[in-house]
Amino acid sequence: MVFKLFSLFKKKMADADGNMARIHYNAIFASLHELVGYAVEYKYTNTLKISQTTYINLNNGLFEHVKVHHSSENLQCRQCNYTAKLKPHLTRHIKVQHGSEKFQCAECSYSTKWKHDLVPHLKLHHDSENLKCSKCNFTTKLKRYLMRHMKVHHGSQKCECTECNYVTKWKHSLLQHMKMHHSSENHKCDQCNFTTKLKLYLRRHVKEQHGSEKFECTECNYATRRKRRLLEHMKVHHSSKNLQCHQCNFTTKLKVHLMTHVKVQHGSRKFECAECNYVTKWKHHLLEHIKVHHSSENLKCPKCNFTSKLERYLMTHVKVHHRSEELKCHQCNFTTKLIGSLLKHVKMNHRSEKYKCHKCKFNTKWKSCLVRHGNRYHTLKD
């Protein structure tokens, strides 16, 4: 593919005249000889003469794309069945799955295979120094959190959608918004009827629904296609280690639950509505409140008269009422237009997996119910 790209460029250059074309041609192929990847974006007038030439460095993009999407060559791990298209992915796999080297915290029992994970751990848990925002009372241990806070809460730069009034401070959020709402391109699964606007969702779907790789628990018969879920399962069901709240008796197995508890129960920071007395500890709740109660703007369905204040309600409406294809359960005759409903159906009716309380006989198929049960019946007693 790379060769075809430069061959095409060479042919087009032969159609142009003047020293500029020859100089650019030499520069391109000198760079190629030095193993630096470049692509040329060029525009032609009606007379096929070059009107603009732009050099784009694709050293970390084009060649990776070719390897991943247009190459049949796979790199095989010598210790297991793992394969990868890119050498950094194979190196990372070997280090995580088969490597013995670890970085140990000198202050506690924390250990990791990644040096860049040890440094934030030391700052967060064993460093008394705080970085303070110069414009408000926000403090943090990590510089990247402070920079993100400054950009979100005090930054003036915004990324605006050219098709609607969507505004964000994050470029990747704008790109995702454009793909989801203003692009006609769909990525379709070649094994079922699943379609999506985002390639990330397609890869996730293929891995979860059609992939053969599974992560299995060594203590019980639990298996999942997501490594993160296996790690959470191990912490919740097979670990005796509990994370303790420093301000009350609350304990949990998962750090994210502890952070949520501290924010909700002990956090002083609040998001207040400027139009009424509504107060919340969650920023996204405030944004939804403002849209629903204090905004005159409505999002309209392009196919009927349905309107909504919130984007997620409109998307659900479109899927339910205007989507022609249905998602079918492979184990029974159940059909639905929402993938969330299908996953819920499969979990409730065709899976034996249960989340069990390690302090009593309670069990459930829903992790959120187990967490709620633990918070309600066990945290106050411990």
Please list, in sequence order, all residues whose beta carbon lies within 8 angstroms of the beta carbon of residue 44, skipping any fewer than 6 positions away. Answer: 12, 50, 51
Please list, in sequence order, all residues whose beta carbon lies within 8 angstroms of the beta carbon of residue 101, skipping any fewer than 6 positions away. Answer: 95, 113
Name the residue ranges covered by the structural domains of the chain.
2-59, 75-194
Q: How far is CA 21 from the centre of its chain?
A: 43
Q: Which of 39-43, 158-162, 173-177, 290-294 has the least mean pLDDT?
A: 39-43
Residue 92 has pLDDT above 80, yes or no: yes
- φ, ψ of residue 280 to 5 degrees: the values are -150, 160
Please report which residue ranges of 71-170 form alpha helices under DSSP H. Answer: 87-93, 115-126, 143-149
Helix, strand, coil share (%) of the chain residues, nearest 5 = 45, 15, 40
The encoded tokens of residue 77 equal 């791990």
Task: Give the residue with greater pLDDT, 157 vs 31.
Answer: 157
CA distance 129 to 140: 9
Residue 327: other Cβ atoms inside 10 A: 20
Dihedral, 293, 299, 301, 307 alpha carbons, nearest 10: 20
Residue 190: other Cβ atoms inside 10 A: 8
Answer whether 168's CB lies under 8 Å from 177's CB: yes
**Which 8-state DSSP code applies to residue 47?**
T
Q: How confident is the model at residue 61 (pLDDT cuts 50, 70, 90)?
A: low
Q: What is the SS3 assignment for 145? A: helix
Residue 221 pLDDT:
80
Answer whether 174's CB lies under 8 Å from 161's CB: yes
Answer whether 265's CB lies under 8 Å from 259's CB: no
CA distance 94 to 84: 11
Determine the straight-line distance between the first and last CA of the chain, rounded to whole angstroms. 63
CA distance 328 to 342: 8
CA distance 97 to 339: 32
Answer whether 4's CB lies under 8 Å from 70's CB: no
Mean pLDDT (the chain) is 76
Residue 299 has pLDDT above 60, yes or no: yes
pTM of the complete model: 0.46
Please list, in sequence order, all residues whose beta carbon lies within 8 angstroms of the beta carbon of residue 310, skipping any fewer than 6 positions away. Answer: 288, 291, 292, 299
The residue count of the chain comes to 382
What number is the average pLDDT over the span 133-140?
86
**Which 8-state DSSP code applies to residue 275?**
S
The encoded tokens of residue 349 equal 């009716």
CA distance 33 to 22: 17
3-state secondary structure labels for all residues of 324-344 = CCCEECCCCCCEECCHHHHHH
Q: How confident is the model at residue 277 (pLDDT cuts 50, 70, 90)?
A: very high
CATH architecture group of domain 75-194? 2-Layer Sandwich (3.30)
Please tell me the number of Cα atoms within 13 Å of 216 on its side-chain side: 6
Residue 74 pLDDT:
83
Residue 278 pLDDT:
93
